Amino acid sequence: MKYTSVSEKLKQQFGTKVYRLSLSTGCTCPNRDGTKGYGGCTFCSEGGSGEFAADVLPVSQQIEQAKLLVDRKFPKQIRPQDRKYIAYFQSFSNTYGDIRKLRNMFMEAIEREEIVILDIATRPDCISEECLDMLKELNAVKPVWIELGLQTMHDETAEAFHRGYRTIEFEQCFRRLQDAGIEVIVHLILGLPGETEEMMLESVRYVNRLKPSGIKLHLLQILKGTVMAEQFRRDPWPIMSLEEYCSLIIKCLDNLSEDIVIHRLTGDGPKSQLIEPAWCADKKHVLNTLNRMVAQAERTKL
Ligand code: SF4
């Protein structure tokens, strides 16, 4: 049950707090533009995932703007020149585009001294051989993290929410990245319609066997304007309570090796778009309850 959070891991590695800067490549997603499908995964909110922007600002300018948002989180004693950041390309599939152009954008980020990690969110079907070569090249300059949204190991659930690739495709991509020495962070969603607790734990155990460097456990959030919101309106399904969610997280942690860094234990969708679970709008309460229940479970095990 003992686990390492990403903030602890970063502190050990860099001796200081490190914050993510949210940046954009302007790429869209093959599951939205018609290559794999239209409309994307049924829970994906256009606004929530960030809008596709063909003319994004130059990366250095984005970095300066993003720093203004996170700099107030740094303890006062850390001088501006000592602050360290992760360049996090989060929205949509950030390797779905012209590789030369993407290489230039990523390079522009990691050539800056204050950027210590390049973190790229993408899909397994967006990692071509050319892309893998680029990632290896970038990884030789600064550590590269690739975030892959598996969400579930169960293909029948994935088909229902229109993931657009099978678990075997994810696994093949995962292994290519791992063999190339690139750290992979796998995302799972807890609470997908039709999934039992055992199915969710099977996904956790599956990810654990793959030994990724990190995992993000997301709470499913039903957001306004999504296909899932409409499905939920027509035919609602049971929603986990906060206590049920926290107990499930404890079981998930019990099924994960201590070496796998925990990057996230909740959802973080936009409050203004949230339909269910209503309780997750109060993030502070969620985190306090989660920390309390996890600490309690740890004590019981001692
Ligand atoms: S892969 Fe990601 S960006 Fe693309 S539709 Fe699914 S959730 Fe949205």
Q: What backbone phi and psi angles, to 5 degrees, belong to 121? A: -90, 135
Measured in angstroms, how far is the CA atom of residue 21 from the centroid of ligand 1?
20
Give the count of domains, the chain. Answer: 1
Inside any domain, residue 158 = yes
* Nearest C-alpha neighbor of 16 from the set 24, 8, 26, 5: 8
Q: Closest ligand 1 atom to the C-alpha of 37?
A: 5
pLDDT at 248: 97
From atom 2 of ligand 1, which residue's Cα is the shortest distance away?
92
Measured in angstroms, how far is the CA atom of residue 81 from the centroid of ligand 1?
36
pLDDT at 300: 85
From atom 6 of ligand 1, which residue's Cα is the shortest distance away?
41
Inside any domain, residue 129 = yes
Low-confidence ranges of the chain (pLDDT < 50): 48-52
Domain with 51, as residue range(s), is 6-301
The CA distance from 117 to 230, in Å, is 38
Structure tokens at 266: 């909740």
The ligand 1 site (C-beta within 6 Å) comprises 29, 31-32, 40-41, 44, 49, 92-93, 123, 149
Inside any domain, residue 1 = no
pLDDT at 55: 66
Measured in angstroms, how far is the CA atom of residue 301 from the centroid of ligand 1?
38
Assign residue 205 the CATH number of its domain: 3.20.20.70
Inside any domain, residue 149 = yes
Inside any domain, residue 47 = yes
Task: Quick: pLDDT tens for 40-94.
Answer: 999 998 753 444 455 689 999 999 999 999 999 998 889 999 999 999 999 899 9
Inside any domain, residue 293 = yes
Give ∠ CA 206-208-209 in degrees, rounded to 5. 65
Task: Quick: pLDDT tens for 247-274.
Answer: 999 999 999 999 999 999 988 788 899 9
Establish how many alpha carbons lie within 13 A of residue 173's alpha carbon, considering only the half-sphere containing its beta carbon: 23
From atom 7 of ligand 1, which residue's Cα is the shortest distance away?
44
Inside any domain, residue 88 = yes
The CA distance from 51 to 2, in Å, is 38
Measured in angstroms, how far is the CA atom of residue 140 from the centroid of ligand 1?
28
Most distant CA atoms of the chain, gap in Å: 54
